[in-house]
Structure 1
């Protein structure tokens, strides 16, 4: 039952993306019935060329379905014209992708409602400030759906990298960096994750290989459909039944449109809630800046964690007992306290501490100033 449910959910998600998404899904489903050699011949396996920078060379590989074949190591000064002369006709037409190393990107797991599937990038854009130490306009990012839970929620992975790091790595490909269709990330098995971090305006779309053969098959398919339609129209009874089925299908489509409209309303409401929540809570950068200004230079942190409204600090300090007083009066949190006893560290000759605090919402600057003055007067 779970397999059928997942299939239906993927089908509804494809319908939600419009006629183009449905046709892509339908074509991929039909392609799975073809033999493997036919799918390779027709260019339906998603083949692409992968490029990685290794020291002074660029490693080139061919991804064929779920397999990766190493082709050659090229000098970093190679040009697209030289690459085309090196490759055969079929490989030269494949889309070219930059495969980024995994240690250059930041990955976060998210749980999102099923309605977010239609606008996944727009939804995760609002999560970047909370899940990463940089803003959305400062990063190249993408997201992929890892699975669908039984309650309908999407298990999503956010993949992001600062634009400065992205640009520096892309420049390492030399002239090959200008003709890319995308930028993916290498997983633990050496295969791409299935994301595209390259900005849309920089992507180069290539004509699919074996295009003429595709057109021939499409023409044959159209002729077969016309012949089938003529045979159906030759029988009045079959035509009447087909008309009744079409009316019922239109009714189902109308019901689906109504359901999708409600999903869109829910998505807008959820996006508004995310915006309001993000605006009320201090960002990770604000919290780290406030901590840096309040902690003495002799103190260093081993861990800083923000889980919901709870702030946790773990580190070492020669004056750990006085850190609570230093953290008092901040407009970003309240009730700072030591969690557990101080633990002397003979190696550093410092005390290991664990501090917790409750994060507050953002305040008006005048209110924050008055609150800080009142707190200071109370301590005085």
Structure 2
């Protein structure tokens, strides 16, 4: 049988109705994703570790078999029988009747009553995929048509069996009369108030995975790890913040050290560049001076040339060379002829008297001042020959 249920939004719902539909569609998907994610993470751990941290879904299943109550521990697809307890032996003294019979870790497991398969009515339906977001609410309108009961007379739940493509779901509606459920709960005596849910068994005796107990009757067990998990979560958040802050501080310190290293490297590079410039200047200056010295005659050569060209009755009081200018100051009996004697030298040019001749009454000679310009040649030019005798040259003074 195929049932198609369509509900139209009330007039005037507008944007608020759209938000409600979006919220209703996201919430079950988010819950399903979180359940899948935590289950996948827990499956990577050993079974003992999962049991230690209570990561495996576990239930304490209660089955009424005659006058006895059969206890079994359900863990995923595994059901392990524990013990059988007479219902009459359960004392109603305000304490948990099973706390003295079970280990503390098993006694704290959520307790579920499993009804026999004959006490429930099951119907398979095909619904649109959009109905999966509000499956229980949608099937609440189908109880009157699919079962001989009314919605007010039964407790019900639904589960998804299969998905047909992207637009259809195969679901199962499970109902139990409230009178039958109340009788089953009353038969548990003091344990009825400790139940977290009521499930039903299939033909093989395995739980269906539904909850036929209303929210008002469900026993809410406080998770003993809740506060510890909150503290651990807070500690983890603080540790994460501290780690990120420390990482940021380390990055800033490393950036400062790197900046100092860069500044030091730049300073050293600038110093090296300055030293290189100074060295180049010294090398170029030395090369220039050497080239200048190589192109200009030496003082020895100048003095030797003067000794060859000046007559014996000529005496020099001062000989100075400043740059390429030669200055001669002295006494001579042939002062007027000195310019002619100095001309034609390969070491200087333009010899001339600077000022008038001044007679010296003591030596009866003339005081003269002569200037000339030294000859400078390129470094690769041949040096002038200075060993040749100048015509008419006399010995030095």
* Aligned residue in 2 for 1:53: 64
The alignment status of 1:151 with 2:152, answered yes or no, reads no
Number of equivalent positions: 225
The alignment status of 1:98 with 2:113, answered yes or no, reads yes
SS in 2 for 1:145: strand
CA distance in 1, matches of 2:68, 2:242: 56
CA distance in 2, matches of 1:93, 1:205: 12
User: Which protein shows a greater Rg?
Assistant: 2
CA distance in 1, matches of 2:151, 2:219: 23
CA distance in 2, matches of 1:114, 1:181: 29
Distance 1:230 1:81, change over 3 A: same
Tell me the alpha carbon deviations over residues 309-366 of structure 1, each in whole angstroms, 9 at most, x when there is no partner.
xxxxxxxxxxxxxxxxxxxxxxxxxxxxxxxxxxxxxxxxxxxxxxxxxxxxxxxxxx
SS in 1 for 2:62: strand
* Aligned residue in 2 for 1:222: 237
TM-score (structure 2 length as normaliser): 0.51
Tell me the alpha carbon deviations over residues 66-104 of structure 1, each in whole angstroms, 9 at most, x when there is no partner.
111111111213145331122221112111110100111
* Aligned residue in 2 for 1:117: 132
* Aligned residue in 1 for 2:211: 196
* Aligned residue in 2 for 1:44: 55
Q: Which runs of 5+ in 1 are unaligned?
A: 1-11, 237-380
SS in 1 for 2:82: strand
Q: In the TM superposition, what are the counterparts of 1:7-26 in structure 2 within 5 Å?
A: 15-17=26-28, 22-26=33-37
How far 1:219 moved relative to its partner? 4.8
Which of 184, 188, 201 is 1:169 aligned to? 184
Tell me the alpha carbon deviations over residues 4-26 of structure 1, each in whole angstroms, 9 at most, x when there is no partner.
xxxxxxxx998343766654444
The answer to whether the 8 A contact 1:102-1:187 is kept is yes
The answer to whether the 8 A contact 1:93-1:207 is kept is no
CA distance in 2, matches of 1:166, 1:82: 21
How far 1:145 moved relative to its partner? 0.9
* Aligned residue in 2 for 1:69: 80
- What is the root-mean-square deviation in Å for CA atoms of aligned residues? 3.0
Question: After TM superposition, where is structure 1 displaced by more than 3 Å over at least 4 residues in a row?
Answer: 12-16, 18-26, 208-236
Distance 1:230 1:191, change over 3 A: farther
CA distance in 1, matches of 2:98, 2:48: 26
CA distance in 2, matches of 1:220, 1:120: 39
* Aligned residue in 2 for 1:32: 43
SS in 2 for 1:94: coil
CA distance in 2, matches of 1:195, 1:37: 27
Distance 1:209 1:35, change over 3 A: farther
SS in 2 for 1:45: coil
CA distance in 1, matches of 2:124, 2:246: 53
Tell me the alpha carbon deviations over residues 109-158 of structure 1, each in whole angstroms, 9 at most, x when there is no partner.
11112222221110000111111111111101000111211133111111
The answer to whether the 8 A contact 2:117-2:200 is kept is yes
CA distance in 2, matches of 1:45, 1:53: 26
* Aligned residue in 2 for 1:330: none
Q: Which runs of 5+ in 2 are unaligned?
A: 1-22, 253-397
CA distance in 1, matches of 2:210, 2:84: 24
CA distance in 2, matches of 1:14, 1:207: 28
* Aligned residue in 1 for 2:356: none
Distance 1:224 1:19, change over 3 A: farther
Which of 66, 83, 87 is 2:102 aligned to? 87
Q: In the TM superposition, what are the counterparts of 1:1-380 in structure 2 within 5 Å?
A: 15-17=26-28, 22-77=33-88, 78-79=90-91, 81-208=96-223, 210-211=225-226, 214-215=229-230, 218-219=233-234, 221-222=236-237, 225-226=240-241
